[in-house]
């Protein structure tokens, strides 16, 4: 067996609406519903499934909790991202700063989503 890619991950959130407003309205992901009223944020060929805190779908993590995520998204222009975040009143908590990604050097800016998850927006150099 070998892992070939990541299909989706799950975020436990305090509010589906607030989460979708940030990831769709600010970061440009597409909100979709699927199955029996489940929610996901879609970008590229991946997605983030959303679980409402204290109402998670089974099976789930042992200790699901809003704000415990640390996510990195590859973007096309970190300078434009910084301007975009600031224009929407999103605080940049670090960056631009050089980092190392899965396949090379990155330039990154960091912010937080409504649940306090760390969101890194990174451009490969």
Catalytic sites, residue numbers: 120
Residue showing tokens 């998850």 = 117
Residue showing tokens 């050089």 = 98
As a 3-state breakdown, the chain gives helix, strand, coil percent values, each rounded to 5, of 15, 40, 40
As a whole number of Å, the CA-based R_g of the chain is 15
């Amino acid at each position: 067996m070998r892992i070939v890619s990541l299909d989706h991950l799950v975020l436990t959130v305090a509010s589906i609406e607030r989460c979708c407003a940030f990831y769709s309205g600010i970061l440009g992901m597409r909100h979709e519903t699927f199955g029996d009223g489940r929610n996901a944020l879609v970008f590229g060929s991946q997605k983030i499934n959303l679980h409402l805190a204290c109402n998670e779908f089974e099976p789930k993590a042992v200790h699901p909790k809003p704000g415990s995520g640390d996510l990195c998204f590859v973007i096309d222009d970190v300078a434009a991202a910084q301007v975009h975040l600031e224009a929407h009143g999103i605080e940049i908590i670090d960056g631009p700063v050089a980092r190392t990604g899965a396949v090379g050097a990155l330039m990154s800016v960091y912010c937080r989503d409504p649940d306090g998850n760390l969101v890194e927006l990174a451009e490969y150099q």
